[in-house]
Amino acid sequence: MSEPLVKARNVHKNFGHVEVLKGIDLDVHAGQVVCLLGPSGSGKTTFLRCINSLERIDAGRIWVDGDLVGLAERDGRLHRLTDKEIARQRRDIGMVFQRFNLFPHMSALENVVEAPVKVRGVSRADARRRATELLERVGLADRAQNYPAQLSGGQQQRVAIARALAMQPKLMLFDEPTSALDPELVGEVLAVMRELAADGTTMVVVTHEVAFARDVADQVVFMDGGVVVERGAPADVIGNPREERTRAFLARML
Ligand code: ADP
């Protein structure tokens, strides 16, 4: 099999004296969907943020598409990347947060147009064409001119997904994308994510939506207390968990 698109080895992260990640390994191959499940506080979000340099790891290595995250080898030694270099790495990784973080003073369309124009130097006309297609893809063609405050949480999150996709990322990271939504709005966001998965988008998803993970994930990773307790196909990890901690968690969720 080819090199994974995301490869993490022995990733450690501390906040002060608290060790939040205690040696995480992960392989995500191109086109795969990996769901990170586990109790609150187990380190899932922190790990996701490490992949995207929103947190700096204390030990271990992460590669995205063959490039070390946050580090570069020069003169036979590893150096921290500059802020500018980190920003360049992050361009190729889309991230969707629990809170949608749309620009409130911009329409849905303008939110999606902004980054390709400002960061990639795409012409505004091209960016608008592509943004229109993306809004269509997330089912919001008729909402292009609305401002975030005029949209439901589910619609805002779909705009946020379109905005991330506008940068044509190699990888999409989702950090509990439905947990801030009213229950009746969760389905429309998951439906968009299911379509992305079906289209071959490489995705790492932190979620409490066990049914989504069961149906969509190629690999489920169950974390607890900063370690991976169990990983594998959803039919195994969710359908027939080996570890007591996984069973206890799933019993609470289902
Ligand atoms: P999960 O996503 O599994 O709920 P998190 O990665 O959010 O877990 O958090 C793991 C642990 O790290 C928690 O104990 C949390 O309080 C702590 N933590 C997360 N972010 C910070 C931070 N910026 N500073 C200090 N502690 C943090």
ipTM: 0.97
Other CB atoms within 10 Å distance of the CB of residue 217: 24
Give me the residue label for tokens 């069973």. Answer: 247
**Is the pLDDT assigned to residue 119 strictly greater than 80?**
yes
CA distances from 129 to 71, 96, 116, 159, 232 (A): 36, 22, 12, 15, 40
Instruction: From 17, 20, 249, give the residue whose CB has the most ligand 1 atoms within 8 Å, as the site to mutate.
Output: 20
Give the chain's largest Cα–Cα span.
55
Strand positions, DSSP E, the chain? 6-15, 18-28, 33-37, 59-64, 67-68, 71-74, 77-80, 93-96, 171-175, 203-206, 219-224, 227-232
Amino acid, res. 207 = T
Among left, alpha and beta (phi > 0; psi -120 to 50; other), residue 139 is left
Task: Compute the average pLDDT of residues 18-27.
Answer: 98
Tell me, what's the pLDDT at 1?
A: 66
Confidence of residue 201 (pLDDT cuts 50, 70, 90): very high
For residue 226, how far is its CA from the centre of ligand 1 (angstroms)? 10
3-class SS of residue 110: helix
Instruction: From 12, 14, 15, 36, give the residue whose CB has the most ligand 1 atoms within 8 Å, as the site to mutate.
Output: 15
For residue 130, how far is its CA from the centre of ligand 1 (angstroms)? 36
Which residues have CB under 6 Å of ligand 1? Answer: 15, 20, 38, 40-46, 206
For residue 42, how far is its CA from the centre of ligand 1 (angstroms)? 8
Tell me, what's the pLDDT at 249?
A: 96
Average pLDDT, the chain: 96
User: What is the distance between the alpha carbons of residues 33 and 50, in angstroms, rounded to a whole number?
Assistant: 18
Confidence of residue 75 (pLDDT cuts 50, 70, 90): confident
For residue 229, how far is its CA from the centre of ligand 1 (angstroms)? 18
